[in-house]
Amino acid sequence: MTNEHCPGFESNKSLAEVKLKCPACGTEFGIFSDETEKTAKCPDCGVAVDPKTAKA
Ligand SMILES: [Zn+2]
């Protein structure tokens, strides 16, 4: 609690990474656990990926 120099960064520490697999091209990529409620976007082909159905 005493070594913080960047509160914004510290607040991200509790987030886990969720691995997704693009249903269109098969690329695996990660999103943060707080982003599973919204549609993700494949970094390779740009297709919309639903985190609920595309877990790797
Ligand atoms: Zn893709």
How far does the centroid of ligand 1 lie from the alpha carbon of residue 49, in Å?
8
As given in the structure block, the two tokens for residue 2 are 């005493």
Grouping H, G, I as helix, E, B as strand and the rest as coil, residue 32 is: strand
Q: Has residue 41 got a pLDDT over 90? A: yes
As given in the structure block, the two tokens for residue 48 are 């919309």
What percent of the chain stands above pLDDT 90? 70
pLDDT band at residue 8, thresholds of 50, 70 and 90? low
How far does the centroid of ligand 1 lie from the alpha carbon of residue 41, in Å?
8
Q: Has residue 11 got a pLDDT over 70? A: no
How far does the centroid of ligand 1 lie from the alpha carbon of residue 53, in Å?
14
How far does the centroid of ligand 1 lie from the alpha carbon of residue 14, in Å?
27
Strand ranges for 1-56 from DSSP E? 17-21, 28-32, 40-41, 48-49
What integer pLDDT is reported at residue 14 of this predicted model? 79
The pTM (predicted TM-score) of the whole model is 0.71
